[in-house]
Each structure stands twice: as structure tokens, then as C-alpha cells.
Amino acid sequence: MSAPAGPPATGSDDKLDRGVLMVAGVVVLGAIMSILDITVVSIALPTFQSEFETTYATVAWTMTAYTLALAAVIPVTGWAADRFGTKRLYLASLVLFTLGSVLCAFAWDIGPLIGARVLQGLGGGMLMPLGMTIMTRAAGPDRVGRVMAVLGVPMLLGPIGGPILGGWLIDIASWHWIFIINLPIGIAALIFAWRILPKDQPQPSESFDFVGMALLSPGLAAFLYGVSSIPEHGTVRNAEVLVPAIIGLVLVIAFVFHALRKSHPLIDLHLFLNRHLTIAVVTMSLFIVAFMGAGLLFPGYFVQVRGESTTMAGILLAPQGLGAMVTMPIAGRLTDKTGPGKLVLGGIVLIAIGMGTFTQLGADTSYPLLLGSLFVMGLGMGMTMMPIMTAALASLTHGEVARGSTLMNIVQQTGGSIGTAVMSVILTNNILNNDAATAYNGAVQTGTADQLPPDIFAAGQQALAEAFGNTYLVAIVLVVLCLVPALFLPRSKQELRTDPRQEGEDEGDASEAPPVMLH
């Protein structure tokens, strides 16, 4: 997203003044609402499965539909902000997200709930990139690092607070309240944004790539729809899987040919000429599929196998967020000094070690062991996500950073959807291939598990735990595969900041490019 530089800090004082902090408060309020919503819903999936008497693959669409909407709206956000103004678009995004939340709360079946999640995604997909642009303009180039640190707060709090808040609301009230709570927050964010954010000054923008939009957004949505339908049908050899996936793939390929010929395409594919960005995209794709897909399974294990409440399941997931909170700030500083390569390799190893415990899941696996493993995975995640993003963006010129961030956003959302589909279908098939696991899982969904004979209960509980463990085997293989592209990430500050295409250019263009916070 393009953003004209804000006013530079005056004198030697580059601290954030009251006006910038007020703008930051507005943006963080919207960011917390959208980021918490992702983790809050993930903890509610077992509840949706029981409440609507449907399969895990079906309720996973409450996550997939949200990410599909994010992927569809991200490409147009930069153009729309220039065309209509960031404040107006930010207010519209808050309205869409809040309205979607209210509709989710009043959903009477899984279908309407999924539809309302699409509306939420259309608003939520614009909140973070728009917030980053607004804060960059308010702070000026000399203080971008400080305001990005402020935006990092909801990213750290989301994995910790979301599951606990979601579980607590479900236990004391009902699942509806995980969406209703967004109404007062959304209204407050709207009021503060209207009063505090600076007036819009729309800038002349490049002509919008309508052909590219007509090819890429429906292409991504159709392809991911087909992929995400695999868990429901249990095979790729189904018309509802193959037809949309093939149509989507054809549209995406057509977009590639279109983008390579157009001077200002919706997504600039010439960025792949940058070796650092290309390697980072490959690494991020594998990582997101493995880590996000596996992360979706943690609440299911604690609730369905161990019989925990949703509140307790959220508390049990907190060590992962705490681990990320420890390493993320440190990794951010070290990346600028030493390059991301060594940090990412170390982070992937830590994630693999932590996830290894979950491949051996049983009905009575030690909680201290599981919580320690989650903490280790969190340490690894904090050393992996932001350094990979830095590797993708740091060597780009100032004018390329916005296009690079758009590309990484799409990679994140697409990889998350694919990961959700892959892990869901593997788990579902592992359960269906074991009669004891199927019987026990059915009893859990109907609330009659405690009525099973003790021997059948124990056998079914163990079988279901093993189904989760077998699914994590696939996830850990994908995590280990991330080591291959990660070996080629920059391992020094000089290598990180240098792009072979920029020989003879002012290296300051790349080094002064503002960091980008992705959602």
C-alpha cells in the first residue's frame, strides 16, 4: 500500500507525541478486535461442531471463509485507500467487521455463520494494512519503527488472550458472545476513529487493474474453495473439489500472464526477480501451511480427548503466546544486526522439537510436557514469522515495499486456508479409519461419552488421541521441509539489505523502507 511520508520528527526529539499516541490507540483498538477474533473463533470450533451437529471439516469453514475474504480484499486495499482516503476506508472497514460480528452472533445454523464470517473478513482484511498506513503518515519516517512496535502489541496479545477470552465467554454465557463482544469495541473504535484520525487527503492513484481483479480474486477464492472442500468429501476425486479448484487455478494462471504484460498490475510478479523475496515466500508458504494448520488442532485435542472446558483449553494454549512474546522482540532486533537466516533456522528447529511431543499424543499425556512443548513452539514462532517477513521486504526499494507486503499478505492467507484444509482432512480420515475413535468422537459430540462402558471409553479416547498424533506427523514433516528454503535466507545485515537488482542504486532506498506489519 502506498503511503506518502508523514512529517518528520522535529529536532532531536523523536519520541511519540500525544497526537501520534492517540492515533496509535485508535489503530490498535481495531487491530486487537480483528486479531483476537481469529484466535477466539479457533477455540470455539469444537463448540460449533457440537452446537450445530456437524463435522469438524464443516465448522473449519468458519475459519476458512474468513481467510478467503481476507485474501480477496487485500489486493484492492492499497488502491482503494489512495482513491477514497484512508480514514473513510478505515471507518468502512470497522463498520463491515462490526456488522459481520453482529450477524455471526445471530446465526441460527452453520451456513449463515460461515456467510457472516465472510463479511467479517472483508472488513478485517483491511484493518491492519490501513492501520499501518495511517500510523506511518502520522508518525513520519523517523518514527516508523516505534509505531510498528505499538502495532505489534495486538499480535503478541492475540494468541494469549484470544483463546482464554473465547473459552471464558463460551463457558459463562454461550458462543454467541464471542461475536457480540465486538459490538461495543467496534462502536468505540468508530467514534474514536471519526474524532481522532486526520482528515483524508486522497492522492491521485494509478488506474485500477480491473482485469487483474476479475482474474485473481475469484481465482484465489475458487481454488481455495475447492481445496477447503476436500475434508468434507474426504477425497480430491469429487466434482465439488475438482471443478472449483481447476477453474480457480486457470484464473490464477491467466492472471500471471496478464500481470507479466501489464505495467501496473494488481500484484507485481516482477518482485519474484528478487531472490530474497522469492526464498522468503517459499519458506513462509510451507511454514504457514504447517504451523497454522496444526495450530487449529490444539483446542480439539484438549476439549474432545481430555474433556476440558473451552476456558481451560484457552488457558492451556497460553504458553505458546508467552513463548512468542519472549522471542519476538529479541528476534526483531537481532534480524537487523545479523540477518534472518540463522534465527529462522533456529526457530524452525524449536518448532519441530515442540511439535514432536504432539506426534506421540495419548489419552493421558502429561500436561507439563504438553505445556512445555507449546512454550517451545511459541519460542520458535517468535523467531520465525517476523524474520521471514523481514527477509522478504528489507531488500526491496522503498516503492516496492507496499507491493511486497501485499504479496506476503496473500501468501499468508492462502497458506492458512490450505493448512486448515489439509490438517482437517487428515484428522477426519484418521478418525474415520478407526472404529473406536469414530464411536468415541460421536459420543463426545452428542454429550454421551460418560455413558460409554469404561473399557470402550478408554479405548475410544486413546484412539482419538492417536488420530490427532498421526495428523501432527504430517505437520512436523512440513515444518522440517521449511529448513530447505530457510538455508538460503540472508545471514548478514549486508546480505539482507542488498538486492542484486539494485547495483549502482542508492542502498538507502532499501534500508530506509518502512517495516510492514502483516495480518
- Per-residue HEC secondary structure of 181-236 comes to CHHHHHHHHHHHHHHHCCCCCCCCCCCCCHHHHHHHHHHHHHHHHHHHCHHHHCCC
The structural domains of the chain, with segments of one domain joined by +, span 14-203, 210-265, 268-519
Provide the sign of the torsion angle of the four alpha carbons 65, 407, 78, 269, taken in this order: negative
**Angstrom distance (rounded) from CA 398 to CA 396:** 6
- pLDDT computed for residue 145 by the predictor: 45
Burial of 488 (0-12, 13-18, 19+ CB in 10 A): middle
Residue with cell 470402550: 456
**Angstrom distance (rounded) from CA 57 to CA 114:** 13
- pLDDT computed for residue 121 by the predictor: 86
Same fold, 14-203 and 268-519: yes
Nine-digit cell string for 86: 484512508
- Contact between 96 and 122 (Cβ < 8 Å): yes
**Angstrom distance (rounded) from CA 166 to CA 168:** 5
pLDDT digits (tens, 9 = 90+) for 105-152: 888 888 888 888 988 888 887 777 777 677 766 665 445 445 555 565
- Contact between 455 and 262 (Cβ < 8 Å): no
Residues 6+ apart with CB under 8 A from 74: 125, 126, 129, 406, 409, 410, 413
> Hey, how many other C-beta atoms are within 10 angstroms of the C-beta on 448?
10
Count the alpha carbons within 13 Å of 71 in the hemisphere toward its beta carbon: 25
Count the alpha carbons within 13 Å of 341 in the hemisphere toward its beta carbon: 17
- Contact between 82 and 130 (Cβ < 8 Å): no
Q: Which residues of 59-68 are buried (b: 16+ CB within 10 A; e: fewer)?
A: bbbbbbbbbb
Residue with cell 508467552: 322
DSSP state of 273: G
Read off the pTM.
0.73
- pLDDT computed for residue 373 by the predictor: 94
pLDDT beneath 50: ranges in the chain:
1-13, 141-142, 144-145, 500, 502-519
- pLDDT computed for residue 277 by the predictor: 83
**Angstrom distance (rounded) from CA 25 to CA 388:** 27
CA angle 35, 58, 66 (to 5 degrees): 25
Q: Which residues of 284-302 are buried (b: 16+ CB within 10 A; e: fewer)?
A: bbbbbbbbbbbbbbbbbbb
- Contact between 444 and 302 (Cβ < 8 Å): no
pLDDT digits (tens, 9 = 90+) for 48-94: 888 887 777 778 778 777 877 876 777 777 677 767 777 888 888 89
**Angstrom distance (rounded) from CA 85 to CA 200:** 5
Q: 401 to each of 220, 322, 395, 515, how far by Cα in Å?
A: 22, 30, 9, 8
Alpha helix ranges (H) inside 304-434? 310-338, 341-358, 367-382, 385-393, 401-432
CA angle 471, 476, 479 (to 5 degrees): 135
How many residues can be counted in the chain?
A: 519
- Contact between 375 and 321 (Cβ < 8 Å): no
- Contact between 112 and 490 (Cβ < 8 Å): no
- pLDDT computed for residue 327 by the predictor: 84
- pLDDT computed for residue 456 by the predictor: 84
Listed residue (390, 386, 360) closest to 373, CA to CA:
360
Q: Which CATH number fits domain 268-519: 3.60.150.10, 3.40.50.720, 3.40.50.300, 1.20.1250.20?
A: 1.20.1250.20
Residue with cell 506489519: 517
**Angstrom distance (rounded) from CA 312 to CA 498:** 47
Topology (CATH) of 14-203: Growth Hormone; Chain: A; (1.20.1250)
- pLDDT computed for residue 357 by the predictor: 92
Burial of 455 (0-12, 13-18, 19+ CB in 10 A): exposed
Provide the sign of the torsion angle of the four alpha carbons 442, 445, 451, 452, taken in this order: positive
Q: 237 to each of 229, 418, 462, how far by Cα in Å?
A: 11, 17, 31
